[in-house]
Amino acid sequence: MIGKTRPCLQSRRSFIRKALWGAGVFAASEMVMSGKTPGSAKPEIAASMFPWDLADEGLDQVLDNLREMAGANSVYLCNLSEEVRPFRGGEFTHNPVRKTYIAEDCRVYWPPDPKYYGRIKPLRTQRDFLAGTDWVGEFAKAARAQGMKAGVELFHGFIDRPRLEGPFRDSMQVDIFGHPVLTHNYNKPAACLNSPDFQEYAVGLFSDLAANYDLDYIQTCMIPYVLPGSFLEHNLPPDPIGWALAAPEKGGCFCAHCLEAAGRHDFDLAAARPELLILARQDQQAVLDSGITAKDYLGTHPVLKRWLDFRCESVNSLYGLIGSRIQTLQPGIDLRWNNYIRTHGYYSGIDLPTFMNHLGSIRANAFVEHEDDMALVDEKVQYLHNFNKIVAGRLHWVASIDIRGKNPQVLERSAEVSSYTGCNGYALSHYGEAALENLRAVKRGLRKSKWAEYFN
Protein backbone atom coordinates (compact mmCIF):
# COMPACT_ATOMS: atom_id res chain seq x y z
CA MET A 1 0.00 0.00 0.00
CA ILE A 2 1.20 3.46 -0.80
CA GLY A 3 1.41 5.88 2.12
CA LYS A 4 -0.37 9.19 2.02
CA THR A 5 1.45 12.39 1.37
CA ARG A 6 1.92 14.90 4.15
CA PRO A 7 -0.98 17.08 5.25
CA CYS A 8 -0.94 20.68 4.07
CA LEU A 9 1.78 19.88 1.59
CA GLN A 10 1.35 23.00 -0.49
CA SER A 11 4.86 23.57 -1.74
CA ARG A 12 6.31 26.75 -3.09
CA ARG A 13 6.79 24.96 -6.41
CA SER A 14 3.14 23.94 -6.74
CA PHE A 15 1.93 27.33 -5.56
CA ILE A 16 3.97 29.03 -8.28
CA ARG A 17 2.75 26.50 -10.86
CA LYS A 18 -0.86 27.22 -9.96
CA ALA A 19 -0.29 30.98 -9.89
CA LEU A 20 1.23 30.88 -13.37
CA TRP A 21 -1.63 28.77 -14.68
CA GLY A 22 -4.06 31.25 -13.24
CA ALA A 23 -2.22 34.13 -14.86
CA GLY A 24 -2.49 32.40 -18.24
CA VAL A 25 -6.19 31.89 -17.78
CA PHE A 26 -6.66 35.51 -16.84
CA ALA A 27 -4.77 36.62 -19.94
CA ALA A 28 -6.95 34.42 -22.14
CA SER A 29 -10.14 35.74 -20.58
CA GLU A 30 -8.95 39.31 -21.03
CA MET A 31 -8.39 38.67 -24.71
CA VAL A 32 -11.83 37.15 -25.11
CA MET A 33 -13.37 40.17 -23.41
CA SER A 34 -11.47 42.54 -25.67
CA GLY A 35 -12.50 40.64 -28.79
CA LYS A 36 -8.97 39.58 -29.76
CA THR A 37 -8.27 36.03 -30.81
CA PRO A 38 -6.83 34.32 -27.76
CA GLY A 39 -4.82 31.93 -29.89
CA SER A 40 -1.64 32.16 -27.83
CA ALA A 41 -3.05 30.79 -24.57
CA LYS A 42 -2.30 27.11 -24.13
CA PRO A 43 -5.53 25.18 -23.52
CA GLU A 44 -6.13 22.70 -20.75
CA ILE A 45 -6.98 19.33 -22.27
CA ALA A 46 -8.31 17.34 -19.33
CA ALA A 47 -9.36 13.71 -19.38
CA SER A 48 -11.18 11.59 -16.84
CA MET A 49 -10.71 7.98 -15.79
CA PHE A 50 -11.68 5.49 -13.15
CA PRO A 51 -9.48 3.47 -10.80
CA TRP A 52 -10.24 0.18 -12.59
CA ASP A 53 -8.86 1.67 -15.81
CA LEU A 54 -5.60 2.28 -14.00
CA ALA A 55 -5.53 -1.11 -12.28
CA ASP A 56 -6.27 -2.99 -15.50
CA GLU A 57 -4.16 -1.08 -18.05
CA GLY A 58 -1.44 0.38 -15.86
CA LEU A 59 -1.35 3.94 -14.58
CA ASP A 60 1.59 5.12 -16.69
CA GLN A 61 0.19 3.46 -19.81
CA VAL A 62 -3.15 5.26 -19.43
CA LEU A 63 -1.49 8.63 -18.95
CA ASP A 64 0.91 7.98 -21.85
CA ASN A 65 -2.02 7.18 -24.14
CA LEU A 66 -3.95 10.28 -23.15
CA ARG A 67 -0.95 12.57 -23.50
CA GLU A 68 0.37 11.16 -26.76
CA MET A 69 -2.85 10.23 -28.55
CA ALA A 70 -5.22 12.98 -27.38
CA GLY A 71 -2.86 15.79 -26.37
CA ALA A 72 -4.06 15.68 -22.75
CA ASN A 73 -2.15 17.79 -20.25
CA SER A 74 -4.55 17.40 -17.32
CA VAL A 75 -6.10 14.26 -15.85
CA TYR A 76 -8.63 13.58 -13.13
CA LEU A 77 -9.67 10.46 -11.27
CA CYS A 78 -13.37 9.82 -10.64
CA ASN A 79 -14.56 8.76 -7.17
CA LEU A 80 -18.04 8.04 -5.75
CA SER A 81 -19.39 6.64 -9.01
CA GLU A 82 -22.15 4.07 -9.00
CA GLU A 83 -22.87 2.88 -12.51
CA VAL A 84 -22.45 -0.04 -14.81
CA ARG A 85 -19.58 0.71 -17.18
CA PRO A 86 -19.55 1.39 -20.07
CA PHE A 87 -22.29 3.81 -19.17
CA ARG A 88 -24.24 3.45 -22.40
CA GLY A 89 -23.80 -0.31 -22.69
CA GLY A 90 -21.44 -2.26 -24.89
CA GLU A 91 -17.94 -3.30 -23.89
CA PHE A 92 -14.56 -1.75 -23.17
CA THR A 93 -12.46 -1.85 -26.33
CA HIS A 94 -8.91 -1.73 -24.94
CA ASN A 95 -9.16 -2.98 -21.37
CA PRO A 96 -7.02 -6.14 -21.23
CA VAL A 97 -8.77 -7.56 -18.13
CA ARG A 98 -12.52 -7.03 -18.39
CA LYS A 99 -15.27 -6.11 -20.84
CA THR A 100 -17.60 -4.37 -18.39
CA TYR A 101 -17.51 -3.25 -14.77
CA ILE A 102 -20.17 -2.64 -12.15
CA ALA A 103 -18.92 0.01 -9.75
CA GLU A 104 -19.60 -0.21 -6.03
CA ASP A 105 -22.09 2.38 -4.79
CA CYS A 106 -20.32 5.66 -3.88
CA ARG A 107 -16.88 4.44 -2.84
CA VAL A 108 -13.67 6.43 -2.48
CA TYR A 109 -10.37 5.16 -3.81
CA TRP A 110 -8.06 6.71 -1.28
CA PRO A 111 -7.59 6.03 2.45
CA PRO A 112 -9.85 8.63 4.10
CA ASP A 113 -8.37 10.67 6.90
CA PRO A 114 -10.85 10.18 9.80
CA LYS A 115 -10.25 13.60 11.29
CA TYR A 116 -12.18 15.27 8.46
CA TYR A 117 -15.42 13.35 9.02
CA GLY A 118 -18.20 13.24 11.57
CA ARG A 119 -21.28 11.02 11.71
CA ILE A 120 -21.12 10.15 7.99
CA LYS A 121 -17.82 8.68 6.91
CA PRO A 122 -16.78 7.72 3.37
CA LEU A 123 -16.75 4.06 2.37
CA ARG A 124 -13.59 2.79 0.77
CA THR A 125 -13.63 0.26 -2.07
CA GLN A 126 -13.66 -3.36 -0.99
CA ARG A 127 -12.84 -4.90 -4.34
CA ASP A 128 -9.71 -7.01 -4.01
CA PHE A 129 -7.95 -5.59 -7.04
CA LEU A 130 -8.55 -1.99 -5.93
CA ALA A 131 -8.37 -2.13 -2.14
CA GLY A 132 -5.02 -1.52 -0.52
CA THR A 133 -3.81 1.05 -3.02
CA ASP A 134 -4.05 4.79 -2.53
CA TRP A 135 -5.20 5.47 -6.08
CA VAL A 136 -5.45 9.23 -5.64
CA GLY A 137 -1.92 9.40 -4.24
CA GLU A 138 -0.47 7.20 -6.96
CA PHE A 139 -2.42 9.01 -9.65
CA ALA A 140 -1.34 12.50 -8.57
CA LYS A 141 2.29 11.40 -8.36
CA ALA A 142 2.23 9.85 -11.84
CA ALA A 143 0.50 12.89 -13.36
CA ARG A 144 3.16 15.16 -11.88
CA ALA A 145 5.91 12.94 -13.27
CA GLN A 146 4.40 13.38 -16.74
CA GLY A 147 4.03 17.16 -16.31
CA MET A 148 0.22 17.04 -16.20
CA LYS A 149 -2.32 18.80 -14.01
CA ALA A 150 -3.89 16.43 -11.51
CA GLY A 151 -7.47 16.45 -10.29
CA VAL A 152 -10.14 14.37 -8.62
CA GLU A 153 -13.84 14.24 -9.41
CA LEU A 154 -16.46 13.52 -6.76
CA PHE A 155 -19.48 12.06 -8.53
CA HIS A 156 -23.21 12.64 -8.29
CA GLY A 157 -24.76 11.14 -5.20
CA PHE A 158 -22.02 11.17 -2.54
CA ILE A 159 -23.73 8.64 -0.22
CA ASP A 160 -24.54 5.00 -0.98
CA ARG A 161 -28.19 4.01 -1.04
CA PRO A 162 -28.20 1.53 1.91
CA ARG A 163 -26.86 4.06 4.38
CA LEU A 164 -28.93 7.00 3.07
CA GLU A 165 -32.11 4.93 3.25
CA GLY A 166 -31.00 3.45 6.58
CA PRO A 167 -29.01 5.12 9.34
CA PHE A 168 -28.78 8.49 7.56
CA ARG A 169 -32.41 8.66 6.50
CA ASP A 170 -32.70 12.00 8.28
CA SER A 171 -30.35 13.43 5.60
CA MET A 172 -32.61 12.50 2.67
CA GLN A 173 -34.35 15.18 0.62
CA VAL A 174 -38.14 15.25 0.93
CA ASP A 175 -40.55 16.62 -1.68
CA ILE A 176 -43.55 18.82 -0.91
CA PHE A 177 -45.79 15.73 -0.71
CA GLY A 178 -43.57 14.20 1.99
CA HIS A 179 -41.91 11.57 -0.23
CA PRO A 180 -38.17 11.00 -0.58
CA VAL A 181 -36.63 12.76 -3.57
CA LEU A 182 -35.12 10.35 -6.08
CA THR A 183 -32.35 11.27 -8.49
CA HIS A 184 -33.12 11.44 -12.19
CA ASN A 185 -30.29 9.15 -13.27
CA TYR A 186 -30.15 6.37 -10.67
CA ASN A 187 -33.56 6.62 -9.04
CA LYS A 188 -31.87 6.60 -5.66
CA PRO A 189 -32.49 9.01 -2.77
CA ALA A 190 -30.87 12.43 -2.89
CA ALA A 191 -29.07 13.85 0.14
CA CYS A 192 -30.19 17.17 1.58
CA LEU A 193 -27.68 19.98 1.21
CA ASN A 194 -28.92 21.58 4.42
CA SER A 195 -28.41 18.48 6.55
CA PRO A 196 -25.60 19.30 9.00
CA ASP A 197 -24.38 15.70 8.83
CA PHE A 198 -24.28 15.74 5.05
CA GLN A 199 -22.58 19.13 5.01
CA GLU A 200 -19.89 17.86 7.37
CA TYR A 201 -19.39 14.80 5.20
CA ALA A 202 -19.26 16.75 1.92
CA VAL A 203 -16.90 19.40 3.26
CA GLY A 204 -14.85 16.57 4.77
CA LEU A 205 -14.35 14.83 1.42
CA PHE A 206 -13.04 17.98 -0.22
CA SER A 207 -10.95 18.88 2.83
CA ASP A 208 -9.39 15.42 3.06
CA LEU A 209 -8.33 15.62 -0.58
CA ALA A 210 -7.05 19.20 -0.36
CA ALA A 211 -5.09 18.54 2.83
CA ASN A 212 -3.50 15.26 1.88
CA TYR A 213 -2.85 15.38 -1.87
CA ASP A 214 -1.04 17.62 -4.31
CA LEU A 215 -4.01 18.33 -6.60
CA ASP A 216 -4.68 21.21 -8.97
CA TYR A 217 -8.42 20.84 -8.84
CA ILE A 218 -11.30 18.96 -7.26
CA GLN A 219 -14.24 18.67 -9.61
CA THR A 220 -17.71 17.70 -8.57
CA CYS A 221 -20.95 16.68 -10.20
CA MET A 222 -22.91 16.56 -6.97
CA ILE A 223 -26.62 16.74 -7.82
CA PRO A 224 -28.06 19.69 -5.91
CA TYR A 225 -31.82 19.53 -6.60
CA VAL A 226 -33.28 16.87 -8.84
CA LEU A 227 -35.25 17.60 -11.98
CA PRO A 228 -37.40 15.18 -13.95
CA GLY A 229 -35.37 13.23 -16.49
CA SER A 230 -37.41 14.66 -19.35
CA PHE A 231 -35.96 18.08 -18.60
CA LEU A 232 -32.44 16.79 -19.19
CA GLU A 233 -33.31 15.03 -22.42
CA HIS A 234 -35.14 17.86 -24.11
CA ASN A 235 -34.36 21.51 -24.33
CA LEU A 236 -37.82 22.61 -23.25
CA PRO A 237 -39.00 26.04 -22.17
CA PRO A 238 -38.93 26.47 -18.38
CA ASP A 239 -41.79 24.93 -16.41
CA PRO A 240 -41.40 26.25 -12.85
CA ILE A 241 -44.11 24.10 -11.31
CA GLY A 242 -43.55 20.87 -13.16
CA TRP A 243 -39.77 20.84 -12.96
CA ALA A 244 -38.95 22.09 -9.54
CA LEU A 245 -42.00 21.61 -7.37
CA ALA A 246 -44.65 19.16 -8.48
CA ALA A 247 -42.87 16.32 -10.26
CA PRO A 248 -43.36 13.16 -8.18
CA GLU A 249 -40.37 12.40 -5.97
CA LYS A 250 -38.49 15.43 -7.29
CA GLY A 251 -38.57 19.02 -6.09
CA GLY A 252 -36.74 18.95 -2.76
CA CYS A 253 -36.54 19.93 -0.17
CA PHE A 254 -39.03 20.28 2.67
CA CYS A 255 -37.20 18.36 5.40
CA ALA A 256 -36.69 19.59 8.95
CA HIS A 257 -33.15 20.74 8.16
CA CYS A 258 -34.44 22.90 5.32
CA LEU A 259 -37.18 24.44 7.48
CA GLU A 260 -34.47 25.45 9.93
CA ALA A 261 -31.98 26.61 7.28
CA ALA A 262 -34.65 28.73 5.56
CA GLY A 263 -35.03 30.72 8.75
CA ARG A 264 -31.37 31.66 8.56
CA HIS A 265 -32.09 33.01 5.06
CA ASP A 266 -35.08 35.05 6.29
CA PHE A 267 -37.52 32.71 4.58
CA ASP A 268 -40.38 31.09 6.49
CA LEU A 269 -40.59 27.78 4.62
CA ALA A 270 -43.20 26.34 6.99
CA ALA A 271 -45.50 29.28 6.26
CA ALA A 272 -44.81 29.10 2.52
CA ARG A 273 -45.46 25.37 2.24
CA PRO A 274 -49.32 25.46 2.12
CA GLU A 275 -49.22 28.07 -0.64
CA LEU A 276 -46.63 26.05 -2.55
CA LEU A 277 -48.75 22.93 -2.11
CA ILE A 278 -51.68 24.66 -3.82
CA LEU A 279 -49.40 25.49 -6.75
CA ALA A 280 -48.07 21.93 -6.86
CA ARG A 281 -51.60 20.51 -7.02
CA GLN A 282 -52.99 22.74 -9.72
CA ASP A 283 -53.52 21.59 -13.29
CA GLN A 284 -50.04 22.03 -14.67
CA GLN A 285 -51.04 21.42 -18.26
CA ALA A 286 -53.61 24.19 -18.02
CA VAL A 287 -50.92 26.57 -16.84
CA LEU A 288 -48.62 25.58 -19.71
CA ASP A 289 -51.48 25.87 -22.20
CA SER A 290 -52.27 29.37 -20.97
CA GLY A 291 -49.04 30.56 -22.60
CA ILE A 292 -47.76 32.35 -19.52
CA THR A 293 -43.97 32.65 -19.43
CA ALA A 294 -41.92 31.28 -16.56
CA LYS A 295 -40.84 34.80 -15.66
CA ASP A 296 -44.41 36.05 -15.51
CA TYR A 297 -45.51 33.00 -13.56
CA LEU A 298 -42.82 33.56 -10.95
CA GLY A 299 -43.81 37.24 -10.82
CA THR A 300 -47.40 36.21 -10.13
CA HIS A 301 -46.37 33.76 -7.44
CA PRO A 302 -43.46 35.33 -5.54
CA VAL A 303 -43.53 32.55 -2.94
CA LEU A 304 -42.40 30.09 -5.62
CA LYS A 305 -39.62 32.46 -6.70
CA ARG A 306 -38.54 32.84 -3.07
CA TRP A 307 -38.44 29.08 -2.59
CA LEU A 308 -36.38 28.61 -5.77
CA ASP A 309 -34.03 31.36 -4.63
CA PHE A 310 -33.67 29.66 -1.25
CA ARG A 311 -32.54 26.47 -2.96
CA CYS A 312 -29.87 28.44 -4.82
CA GLU A 313 -28.84 30.08 -1.55
CA SER A 314 -28.52 26.61 0.01
CA VAL A 315 -26.21 25.49 -2.79
CA ASN A 316 -24.15 28.66 -2.50
CA SER A 317 -23.84 28.24 1.28
CA LEU A 318 -22.51 24.70 0.96
CA TYR A 319 -20.03 25.57 -1.76
CA GLY A 320 -18.99 28.66 0.15
CA LEU A 321 -18.08 26.36 3.03
CA ILE A 322 -16.25 23.91 0.78
CA GLY A 323 -14.38 26.61 -1.14
CA SER A 324 -13.14 28.48 1.89
CA ARG A 325 -12.09 25.28 3.68
CA ILE A 326 -10.03 23.89 0.83
CA GLN A 327 -8.35 27.24 0.19
CA THR A 328 -7.22 27.22 3.80
CA LEU A 329 -5.84 23.71 3.46
CA GLN A 330 -4.18 24.13 0.07
CA PRO A 331 -4.08 27.74 -1.22
CA GLY A 332 -4.61 27.92 -4.95
CA ILE A 333 -6.46 24.63 -5.32
CA ASP A 334 -9.28 24.93 -7.83
CA LEU A 335 -12.89 23.97 -7.01
CA ARG A 336 -14.36 22.93 -10.36
CA TRP A 337 -18.07 22.55 -10.97
CA ASN A 338 -19.38 20.16 -13.59
CA ASN A 339 -22.25 22.21 -15.00
CA TYR A 340 -24.23 19.18 -16.10
CA ILE A 341 -27.50 21.00 -16.83
CA ARG A 342 -27.12 22.95 -20.04
CA THR A 343 -29.91 25.46 -19.61
CA HIS A 344 -32.24 26.66 -16.87
CA GLY A 345 -29.97 25.32 -14.12
CA TYR A 346 -31.78 27.73 -11.80
CA TYR A 347 -34.49 25.11 -11.41
CA SER A 348 -31.92 22.69 -10.02
CA GLY A 349 -30.54 25.21 -7.51
CA ILE A 350 -27.74 26.59 -9.67
CA ASP A 351 -27.71 30.35 -10.10
CA LEU A 352 -24.49 30.60 -12.06
CA PRO A 353 -23.85 34.36 -11.62
CA THR A 354 -23.75 34.00 -7.82
CA PHE A 355 -22.61 30.37 -7.69
CA MET A 356 -19.46 31.32 -9.60
CA ASN A 357 -18.35 33.36 -6.59
CA HIS A 358 -17.54 30.07 -4.86
CA LEU A 359 -15.83 28.28 -7.75
CA GLY A 360 -12.41 28.24 -9.33
CA SER A 361 -13.44 26.84 -12.70
CA ILE A 362 -16.25 25.10 -14.59
CA ARG A 363 -16.58 22.10 -16.85
CA ALA A 364 -19.42 22.92 -19.23
CA ASN A 365 -21.18 19.65 -19.88
CA ALA A 366 -22.45 19.38 -23.44
CA PHE A 367 -22.14 15.82 -24.67
CA VAL A 368 -23.18 15.43 -28.30
CA GLU A 369 -20.35 13.48 -29.90
CA HIS A 370 -21.83 10.11 -28.99
CA GLU A 371 -24.89 10.85 -31.14
CA ASP A 372 -23.04 10.52 -34.46
CA ASP A 373 -24.80 13.64 -35.75
CA MET A 374 -22.61 16.40 -37.14
CA ALA A 375 -25.45 18.94 -36.87
CA LEU A 376 -25.40 18.53 -33.10
CA VAL A 377 -21.80 19.74 -33.04
CA ASP A 378 -22.91 23.07 -34.51
CA GLU A 379 -25.70 23.25 -31.94
CA LYS A 380 -23.18 22.55 -29.19
CA VAL A 381 -20.89 25.30 -30.44
CA GLN A 382 -23.76 27.77 -30.24
CA TYR A 383 -24.48 26.62 -26.69
CA LEU A 384 -20.82 27.06 -25.73
CA HIS A 385 -20.80 30.56 -27.22
CA ASN A 386 -23.80 31.43 -25.05
CA PHE A 387 -22.19 29.83 -22.00
CA ASN A 388 -19.09 31.91 -22.58
CA LYS A 389 -21.18 35.09 -22.36
CA ILE A 390 -21.97 34.16 -18.75
CA VAL A 391 -18.54 33.09 -17.54
CA ALA A 392 -16.00 34.85 -19.77
CA GLY A 393 -13.64 37.03 -17.80
CA ARG A 394 -14.70 35.48 -14.51
CA LEU A 395 -13.65 31.84 -14.56
CA HIS A 396 -11.50 29.34 -16.36
CA TRP A 397 -13.82 26.92 -18.14
CA VAL A 398 -13.43 23.79 -20.21
CA ALA A 399 -15.93 22.27 -22.62
CA SER A 400 -16.76 18.62 -22.21
CA ILE A 401 -16.20 16.30 -25.15
CA ASP A 402 -17.70 12.81 -25.13
CA ILE A 403 -14.94 10.57 -26.45
CA ARG A 404 -17.15 7.47 -26.24
CA GLY A 405 -18.79 8.06 -29.62
CA LYS A 406 -18.74 5.75 -32.62
CA ASN A 407 -17.79 8.28 -35.29
CA PRO A 408 -14.25 9.74 -35.01
CA GLN A 409 -15.09 12.37 -37.62
CA VAL A 410 -17.66 13.91 -35.32
CA LEU A 411 -15.09 14.01 -32.54
CA GLU A 412 -12.46 15.52 -34.79
CA ARG A 413 -14.77 18.30 -35.86
CA SER A 414 -15.95 18.99 -32.34
CA ALA A 415 -12.34 19.20 -31.10
CA GLU A 416 -11.64 21.68 -33.87
CA VAL A 417 -14.61 24.03 -33.79
CA SER A 418 -15.34 24.05 -30.05
CA SER A 419 -12.01 25.84 -29.58
CA TYR A 420 -13.49 29.02 -31.01
CA THR A 421 -16.18 29.42 -28.38
CA GLY A 422 -14.12 31.18 -25.70
CA CYS A 423 -13.46 28.06 -23.66
CA ASN A 424 -10.05 27.53 -22.09
CA GLY A 425 -9.82 23.89 -23.08
CA TYR A 426 -11.65 20.58 -23.02
CA ALA A 427 -12.61 17.81 -20.65
CA LEU A 428 -12.58 14.42 -22.38
CA SER A 429 -14.90 11.80 -20.84
CA HIS A 430 -14.16 8.94 -20.09
CA TYR A 431 -10.90 7.22 -21.08
CA GLY A 432 -11.82 3.60 -20.33
CA GLU A 433 -14.94 3.68 -22.49
CA ALA A 434 -13.39 5.44 -25.48
CA ALA A 435 -11.85 3.68 -28.46
CA LEU A 436 -8.20 4.65 -28.85
CA GLU A 437 -9.04 5.84 -32.36
CA ASN A 438 -11.26 8.45 -30.74
CA LEU A 439 -8.31 9.83 -28.79
CA ARG A 440 -6.41 10.24 -32.05
CA ALA A 441 -9.43 11.97 -33.59
CA VAL A 442 -9.35 14.55 -30.79
CA LYS A 443 -5.68 15.21 -31.52
CA ARG A 444 -6.40 15.67 -35.23
CA GLY A 445 -9.11 18.15 -34.35
CA LEU A 446 -6.79 20.01 -32.00
CA ARG A 447 -4.25 20.28 -34.81
CA LYS A 448 -6.85 22.19 -36.83
CA SER A 449 -8.15 24.21 -33.90
CA LYS A 450 -7.20 27.70 -32.85
CA TRP A 451 -4.70 26.02 -30.52
CA ALA A 452 -3.00 24.18 -33.40
CA GLU A 453 0.45 25.55 -32.52
CA TYR A 454 0.50 23.41 -29.35
CA PHE A 455 -0.32 20.12 -31.04
CA ASN A 456 1.76 20.03 -34.22
User: By C-beta, is 259 or 288 nearer to Zn ion?
Assistant: 259
User: By C-beta, is 192 or 368 nearer to Zn ion?
Assistant: 192
Cβ atoms of residues 418 and 426 within 8 Å: yes
Quote the least distance from Cβ 323 to Zn ion, whole Å.
21
Please report whether residue 298 would count as binding Zn ion according to CB under 5 A: no
Q: Smallest Cα–Cα separation from 135: which of 112, 118, 158, 116?
A: 112
CA pair distance 154, 210, nearest whole angstrom: 13
Enumerate the H helices of 159-212 as residue ranges: 161-165, 196-212
One-character DSSP codes across 244-296: IIISTT-S---SHHHHHHHHHTT--HHHHHHHHHHHHHS-HHHHHHTT--HHH
Q: Binding segment for Zn ion among 30-38, 112-120, 190-198, 295-303 (CB under 5 A)?
A: 190-198
Q: Smallest Cα–Cα separation from 182: which of 225, 221, 222?
A: 225
Q: Ramachandran region of residue 158, left (φ > 0), alpha (ψ -120 to 50) or beta? A: left
Q: Binding segment for Zn ion among 14-22, 187-195, 220-228, 414-422 (CB under 5 A)?
A: 187-195
Cβ atoms of residues 347 and 362 within 8 Å: no
Q: Binding segment for Zn ion among 111-119, 210-218, 253-261, 421-429 (CB under 5 A)?
A: 253-261
Please report whether residue 54 would count as binding Zn ion according to CB under 5 A: no
Q: Binding segment for Zn ion among 88-96, 99-107, 194-202, 410-418 (CB under 5 A)?
A: 194-202
Q: Ramachandran region of residue 89, left (φ > 0), alpha (ψ -120 to 50) or beta? A: left
| Helix, strand, or coil (residue 188) | coil
Quote the least distance from Cβ 272 to Zn ion, whole Å.
14
Q: Smallest Cα–Cα separation from 3: which of 136, 194, 160?
A: 136
Please report whether residue 255 would count as binding Zn ion according to CB under 5 A: yes
User: By C-beta, is 90 or 248 nearer to Zn ion?
Assistant: 248
Phi first, then psi: give them for residue 27, nearest 5 degrees: -60, -40
User: By C-beta, is 142 or 192 nearer to Zn ion?
Assistant: 192
Quote the least distance from Cβ 253 to Zn ion, whole Å.
3
Quote the least distance from Cβ 256 to Zn ion, whole Å.
8
Q: Binding segment for Zn ion among 7-15, 238-246, 247-255, 409-417 (CB under 5 A)?
A: 247-255
Please report whether residue 191 would count as binding Zn ion according to CB under 5 A: no
Q: Smallest Cα–Cα separation from 146: which of 210, 76, 74, 218?
A: 74
Instruction: Characterize the bridge pairing of strands 84-85 and 101-102.
Output: antiparallel
Please report whether residue 172 would count as binding Zn ion according to CB under 5 A: no
Quote the least distance from Cβ 344 to Zn ion, whole Å.
22
Q: Exactly one of 192, 308, 315, 384 binds Zn ion (CB under 5 A); which one?
A: 192
Q: Binding segment for Zn ion among 122-130, 135-143, 246-254, 335-343 (CB under 5 A)?
A: 246-254
Quote the least distance from Cβ 206 to Zn ion, whole Å.
20
CA pair distance 276, 323, nearest whole angstrom: 32
Q: Smallest Cα–Cα separation from 404: which of 394, 396, 414, 391?
A: 414
User: By C-beta, is 255 or 272 nearer to Zn ion?
Assistant: 255
Please report whether residue 258 would count as binding Zn ion according to CB under 5 A: yes
Please report whether residue 253 would count as binding Zn ion according to CB under 5 A: yes
Quote the least distance from Cβ 170 to Zn ion, whole Å.
10
User: By C-beta, is 36 or 264 nearer to Zn ion?
Assistant: 264
Contacts with Zn ion: how many residues (CB under 5 A)? 6
Which positions touch Zn ion (CB under 5 A)?
A: 192, 194, 253, 255, 257-258
